[in-house]
Amino acid sequence: EAGVTQSPTHLIKTRGQQATLRCSPISGHTSVYWYQQALGLGLQFLLWYDEGEERNRGNFPPRFSGRQFPNYSSELNVNALELEDSALYLCASSLSPILEQYFGPGTRLTVT
Amino acid sequence: TQLLEQSPQFLSIQEGENLTVYCNSSSVFSSLQWYRQEPGEGPVLLVTVVTGGEVKKLKRLTFQFGDARKDSSLHITAAQPGDTGLYLCAGESGTSYGKLTFGQGTILTVHP
């Protein structure tokens, strides 16, 4: 069974630009989660999507947004990029919100 | 804000030694998960504990959930170089659905 996949693996952007990150969950999983892992800050919860709806949001500004498509894949969009947005962005999926979350390999975003 | 304090932050030991990693909080969690992450990859789920006092064993790894569901520990017996990595605890509360709160992680290095 294929795991969670994310693309691209690496993304380099300049300050002020927009970044789009993509995630495909494990087949059959309907919940998708996004986390930011910045150096020295650990994993911080960003967003949770389930059945196409945003269900929960972490303490991040509105320029972090996303969506979930009918096939349960998801996009994370980061607008007006700032240097401190440089981090590993991890996507996870679960069969239901109360079950374990399985992570993808992440997208390394570098903002210069 | 729920916090998970993980200790120690760094652990450097010789092959064959035993070690324990601790995860503590003042908040109650409905479940707690342990992950292992290697550089450039996403966290890999090791175990989930849900019942206070629960003990789970995975080969040389023993996981325990505190009676009050506020703390957990990971004990590794006879550590091997292949155990090297970042160990993360993550808790899910009943109040912030779908969100995992992560500890800062323990970087374990096992020397041959």
pLDDT of residue B1: 62
- Above pLDDT 70, what percent of chain B? 98
Whether A90 and chain B come into contact, CB under 8 Å, resolves to: yes
pLDDT tens per residue across span B10-49? 999 999 999 999 999 999 999 999 999 998 899 999 999 9
CB B101 within 8 A of CB B90: yes
Checking if the pLDDT of A32 tops 90, the result is: yes
**pLDDT tens track for A1-23:** 689 999 999 999 999 999 999 99
Cβ-nearest to B96 among A56, A90, A104: A56
Cβ burial of B18 (10 Å; 0-12, 13-18, 19+) is exposed
The verdict on a CB contact (< 8 Å) between B45 and A33 is no
Quick check: A3 and A26 in contact, CB under 8 A? yes
Q: Are A81 and A17 in contact (CB under 8 A)?
A: yes
Chain A positions touching B100 (Cβ under 8 A) are: 33, 35, 43, 45, 101
Strand partners, B55: B64
| Alpha-carbon dihedral angle through residues B92, B93, B96, B101, given to the nearest 10 degrees | -40
- d(Cα B55, Cα B75) in Å, to the nearest integer? 11
Tokens of A92: 């996870």
Q: Check pLDDT > 90 for residue A87.
A: yes
Range B83-93 average pLDDT: 94
